[in-house]
Structure formats: structure tokens, C-alpha cells
């Protein structure tokens, strides 16, 4: 039997030594969310002033990477994000970061077939097990493809990373690794679940929960409203729910601990909560650790609409920033101001509709208040110039605000317009009607 610990010791080195393999012009991969390295990142930051044209891929930074803090970092590197968090939005303003548009289900294939192969992968992982495997923690996502295609793989071991049970591509073997670094075992990055849900969150959640049957299979996006739905489900009479989601969030833990999740009615992966990645609080990481009820899987499985379609009564719940009267959903940008990313929203909008009894919900508050205290409608005549469309209008099913829930499938332009204006804040409805008339998509019905 191979002595994997002996091989581990042969590949063990310091962060400073490990990053010496990096040279100007390289593509570096930091993985995703909690797999972003710490010690290796700091070592690369120390070297960055002597390097040029370093291109780093990552996504949803839960702490500010050290390379962002290097003076005049933009002269030496750029960050290419598969999804944007708050830290990365600030980096965009500094000229350091850029977004990689994607349909998340396709990401592993990007690495295998389309994009520049990583010269070096720097990933934070759980400690090696007795069989020589390092778990990616709650980040199966696309990391199997990263390690498969990278020319050089360097792992940073963190004892605080949960070991997450999963399918293939949820871990990497020591034999496929070039170097191992034992870091300082910092706490795993926390994604706060947010404060208490607002009254608007609760109103939207109530409208959605009313549409969920017993035995449904759930996907929740990130944000206050999906979390409010989870909290309401945990307190509801619903039972035998299943989970098949892109992102695992604290709300699922609350539902599971309340006995609402069994997975007994799932038509595939029965009894397992399936997810591509997870980010949340320490409570969630502890729940994920070595839990056989959970199944980490690559995103080309979790987000494949052909897989989602096999799950009856699939319920997809996601946020949006704006929607216009043509029913175009914007979840990534407001004008040219980039906010988030496409993620898997379209994957689940399409997959839920293909499911027998499936429903997809796009939820948003009817308004928002700017820094000057001015109230603005999130339902617009047309999206602001430069706004990115995440979900094209033929694909949108249910839209929910605190004023109601409507199914747009099959409706004509005037029916859609009337339905959406009914979801708008009353202060903006007459203005929206006037715009719709000018756009020739308004016909007041007798309903």
C-alpha cells in the first residue's frame, strides 16, 4: 500500500518557496470562495512588485486578498472574477478586478475546452485523509477541472476547512499535487446571513411559500429574500422537502434542523442535499463537515437543466435588481455599475420550468431608497442603458414583490405589462402606465 504521508512530506514546502514557480504573464487560479488561499496569497503579494501581467481567477472573495493591497497592484496583476462580491466591486473601481461573464453550469467545460489553462493553481483545502485525498471543502464547483487542467497545483492546508462528502471532483489526490503548504489555519471566511428579514422580505416570502407543495425540491439564491423564505419554511407545516442547489446557505441548515428536509421525495439523489458550493456562518460549516446527508458535486451536475428537470416539483428562488415592462430581468448590474454576476440563475430558471410541477421565482422589492433618501421603482419601463440582462423575457416564470405574485408564462406583452405594473409600488404605477402606452404595450383590461 502506498504511503501517502511519505509523499505528502516530500511535497511539503513553505509558501514563499512554493510561489517561486510563478512568473510574469502567468494565469493563476485561486479557486472559489473559501478555497481562496491565505498564506500563498500573502507570499504572492510579497513577490508581486517584481512580476508583471499576473492574471488571477477567483470569485466571491470573503476577505480581501493580499494581492489587492499591494501598492499600484493594477500595474502588476488583474483579478478575474467568476462572480462578484462586495470586495471585488471595490476592486473594479480601483481598476484591479474584472468580471468573467458565464453560465455557471458551463464553468468546468470552460477550463477543459475554452480558456487559457491555469499555469498555477493556489487552493486552500482540508487536511489530507488516510487515502491521500484533500477535500475542497464546500466548494466542489469547478475545482476538479481547475486541478485537472493546471500545469502546477499548490495546496494550502487549513485544519478549519470542513471535509465535505461528495461525488467525484469534490477532492484532489496527493499524487496530482505538486506542492503542499501548511498555512496558519485561519478561520474559514464567513458570509453573514444578514440581519432580520424586513417586512418586505416577509411579504415576498409568504407569497412564495404558499406556492410550495410538500415534497418539493428547493434551490435558494443568495440574499435576504431567499433567506426569509428559508426561515418561513422552517416555521411552516411543509414536510419531506429536498435540496438541489447551486449555493448552500444557512437557511437550509435551519430547515433541516426543523425537520423540514428529508429528501425522501426526490426522484434522483434521494435523501441527499446536493450543492455546488457553500458560504455562510460557522454553524453551516460545522453542519457540512463529514455529514453524509450532504453531497458536494461539480456545478456541471448541480446546475445542468437536464438534471434539474428530473426532479419533480422543483422550486427555484432567486433575487433580481430590476425588471422592465418587457419582462427582462437584471440581476447583475444597474446600468454600467456591476453588482453581482449571472451565477446559475438562468440555469435554474430554465431547469425549474422543465421539472414536472416545477416553478421558478424571481423576487425583488418593488422599490429601493438611494443615499439621498429618494425612492425609486425596481420595475422600470425599460432597463437603464448599459444594464446587463440576466434572464431573457421568454424564460421568466413567476415574479414576486410585496404587492403580489404573477406567472408571466404565455402572456402577451399587454398582459405582462399589466401584471408587472400591479406588482409595482402604487406611487409609480401611473407613470409606468404612461410609459407602457408610449411603448404600445398597454391595454387596460376589464379584470
Q: How many residues does the chain have?
A: 447
Let me know: does 360 contact 353? Beta carbons within 8 Å: yes
The number of CA neighbours under 13 Å toward the Cβ of 50 is: 8
CA–CA distance, 344 with 63 (Å, rounded to integer): 23
Residue 97: C-alpha distances to residues 31, 92, 111, 317, 346 (Å): 15, 5, 20, 29, 24
Specify the 3-state DSSP secondary structure of 44: helix
Sign of the dihedral defined by the CA atoms of residues 202, 204, 208, 210, in that order: positive
Instruction: List the grid coordinates of 139.
Output: 466548494
Among the listed residues 42, 156, 169, 246, the single catalytic one is 246
246 is catalytic: yes
CA–CA distances in Å: residue 370 to residues 157, 388, 426: 43, 20, 18
CA distance 423 to 54: 47
Helix axes 224-234, 250-257, angle to 10 degrees: 0
Given a contact cutoff of 8 angstroms between Cβ atoms, the answer to whether 349 and 316 are in contact is: yes
Nearest C-alpha neighbor of 222 from the set 405, 58, 33: 33
The residue assigned the cell 496569497 is 41
Return phi, psi of residue 79, to 5°. Answer: -100, 130
Residue with the three cell numbers 487559457: 116
Closest CA to 228 of 257, 259, 193, 253: 193
Neighbours of 73 (CB within 10 A): 23
Catalytic residues: 246
Amino acid at each position: 500500500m502506498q504511503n501517502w504521508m511519505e509523499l505528502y512530506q516530500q511535497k511539503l514546502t513553505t509558501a514563499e518557496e512554493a510561489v517561486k514557480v510563478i512568473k510574469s504573464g502567468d494565469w493563476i487560479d485561486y479557486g472559489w470562495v473559501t478555497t481562496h488561499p491565505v498564506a500563498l496569497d500573502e507570499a504572492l503579494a510579497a513577490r508581486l512588485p517584481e512580476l508583471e501581467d499576473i492574471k488571477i481567477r477567483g470569485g466571491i472573495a470573503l476577505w480581501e486578498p493580499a494581492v489587492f493591497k499591494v501598492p499600484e497592484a493594477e500595474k502588476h496583476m488583474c483579478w478575474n472574477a467568476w462572480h462578484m462580491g462586495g470586495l471585488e466591486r471595490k476592486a473594479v473601481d480601483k481598476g484591479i478586478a474584472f468580471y468573467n461573464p458565464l453560465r455557471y453550469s458551463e464553468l468546468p467545460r470552460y477550463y477543459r475546452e475554452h480558456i487559457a489553462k491555469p499555469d498555477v493553481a493556489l487552493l486552500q483545502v482540508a487536511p489530507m485523509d488516510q487515502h491521500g485525498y484533500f477535500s475542497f471543502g464546500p466548494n466542489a464547483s469547478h475545482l476538479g477541472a481547475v486541478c485537472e487542467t493546471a500545469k502546477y497545483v499548490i495546496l494550502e492546508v487549513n485544519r478549519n476547512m470542513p471535509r465535505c462528502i461528495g461525488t467525484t471532483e469534490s477532492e484532489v489526490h496527493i499524487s496530482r499535487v505538486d506542492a503542499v503548504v501548511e498555512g496558519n489555519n485561519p478561520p474559514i471566511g464567513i458570509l453573514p446571513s444578514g440581519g432580520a428579514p424586513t417586512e418586505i422580505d416577509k411579504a415576498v416570502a409568504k407569497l412564495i411559500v404558499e406556492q410550495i407543495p410538500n415534497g418539493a425540491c428547493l434551490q435558494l439564491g443568495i440574499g435576504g429574500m431567499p433567506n426569509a423564505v428559508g426561515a418561513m419554511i422552517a416555521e411552516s407545516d411543509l414536510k419531506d422537502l429536498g435540496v438541489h442547489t447551486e449555493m448552500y446557505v444557512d437557511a437550509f441548515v435551519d430547515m433541516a434542523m426543523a425537520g423540514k428536509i428529508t429528501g425522501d421525495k426526490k426522484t434522483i439523489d434521494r435523501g441527499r442535499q446536493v450543492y455546488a458550493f457553500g458560504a455562510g456562518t460557522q454553524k453551516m460549516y460545522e453542519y457540512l463537515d463529514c455529514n453524509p446527508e450532504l453531497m458536494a458535486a461539480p456545478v456541471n451536475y448541480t446546475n445542468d437543466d437536464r438534471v434539474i428537470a428530473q426532479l419533480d416539483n422543483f422550486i427555484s428562488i432567486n433575487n433580481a435588481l430590476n425588471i422592465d415592462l418587457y419582462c427582462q430581468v437584471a440581476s447583475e448590474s444597474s446600468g454600467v455599475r456591476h453588482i453581482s454576476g449571472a451565477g446559475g440563475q438562468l440555469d435554474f430558471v430554465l431547469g425549474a420550468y422543465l421539472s414536472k410541477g416545477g416553478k421558478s421565482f424571481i423576487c425583488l422589492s418593488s422599490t429601493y431608497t438611494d443615499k439621498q433618501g429618494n425612492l425609486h421603482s425596481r420595475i422600470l419601463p425599460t432597463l437603464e442603458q448599459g444594464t446587463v440582462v440576466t434572464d431573457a423575457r421568454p424564460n421568466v416564470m413567476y415574479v414576486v414583490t410585496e404587492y403580489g405574485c404573477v406567472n408571466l408564462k404565455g402572456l402577451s406583452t399587454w398582459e405582462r405589462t399589466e401584471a408587472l405594473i400591479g406588482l409595482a409600488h402604487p406611487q409609480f404605477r401611473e407613470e409606468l402606465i404612461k410609459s407602457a402606452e408610449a411603448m404600445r404595450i398597454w391595454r387596460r383590461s376589464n379584470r
